Amino acid sequence: MSDTSQPLLTTPPISLFSIVMGVTGLGLTWRKAHLFYGVPPWIAEILLLCGAVLFAFFSLYSGYRLIMDRPQAEHSSIPEQMERLCFTATVPLSLLLLSAAVLPYATQPAQWLWIAGAAMQFSLGLATISLLIRGPHPPATLTPLLFLPLAGNLLGPVSGISLGFAGASWLMFTMGLIGWLVLLVLLVGRLAGFRAIPVEKLPAMAIFITPPALAFMAYPELNHALIDFPGHLFFFTGLFFLLLNLAMIDRFIRIPFSIRCWSFSFPLAALAGAAFDYRAAIGSVLPAAICGLLLALASLTIAMLAARTLWAMARACKAGKTQLLPARGAARD
């Protein structure tokens, strides 16, 4: 990421929940590292607590912005409306992650969080499909962000099965799997045959890692802990997309820093969590070192993103831009 920073709070406020996803997802992965490596459990719990606090704060902030910016929403273009819908999916995805975080402590609150998150996520998936099939849409409408409302349903079974929502988990997995595969074909066609994604939106390319990682973590829950051909395929597809993103590192380092850069966080955390699950299920096939490397990559990336976010906020305060809640009519992305 380049040193040129964009204003952090001119992006859609709902996109701030990508920070919650990254921090909470990393906390859940560190929980698995505690079981595997015996690292101190407080690392995971502090991260999960931070994720819960951030969720509460961003909920209040986004609610305020929703009220203040409502008159401007009518003038948004179709791609902007679709992008806003995609970022909205980070809210139910955060709820599903927080449900998994709360589960070891209290089953009933975890169930409430899961029901709320699953209902919102499935509804957003249906809304996204409904908008897409109304076409035609400009090529700019098709972005990796669409994986969030569609393939994000793959997260449902990860904790849904343990909470007793087997039927709903299968329904979410079905929508997520179909949405991921169909959208993957459409996106490859768009990226190969139309104008490239703008530089400032390139962090969304990391989201390609998320669907196979979530599909792998959900599959053993639905398949009685059995890892067969689909399970292997899901996991190594996630690794393939990670390598594909690493091959684009020269383009990523030139991206102006913004909240969008947090799109790197959850995919890396999810793949690291999937690696621990794969190692636990398969044994020595996947070296333990790979799990550690993926965890280190996710942790380092999120630490760098947090540092850059705090630094950008400090620069904004030093420049006198201390207003957290911009006035009506402020500049938007």
Number of Cβ within 10 Å of residue 108's Cβ equals: 9
Residues 157-191 have pLDDT tens digits of 999 999 999 999 999 999 999 999 999 998 888 88
- The fold of the 2-318 domain, in CATH, is Glycosyltransferase (1.50.10)
pTM to 2 decimal places = 0.90
pLDDT over 90 at 80, yes or no: no
pLDDT bracket for residue 68 (50, 70, 90): confident
Which position has the higher pLDDT, 317 or 118?
A: 118
Measured distance CA(20)–CA(54) in Å, rounded: 6
pLDDT over 50 at 314, yes or no: yes
pLDDT over 50 at 332, yes or no: no
Q: Which residues lie across from 256 on neighbouring strands?
A: 2
The answer, yes or no, to whether the previous bond of 136 is cis (omega within 30 of 0) is yes
Residues 50-64 have pLDDT tens digits of 999 999 999 998 888
Give the torsion through C-alpha atoms of 126, 130, 136, 140, to 10 deg.
Answer: -30
Mean pLDDT value across the chain: 87
Query: b/e per residue, 266-295, with b = 16+ CB within 10 A?
Result: bbbbbbbbbbbbbbbbeeeebeeeebbebb
> What is the mean pLDDT of the segment spanning 199-211?
91
Q: Where are the domains of the chain?
A: 2-318
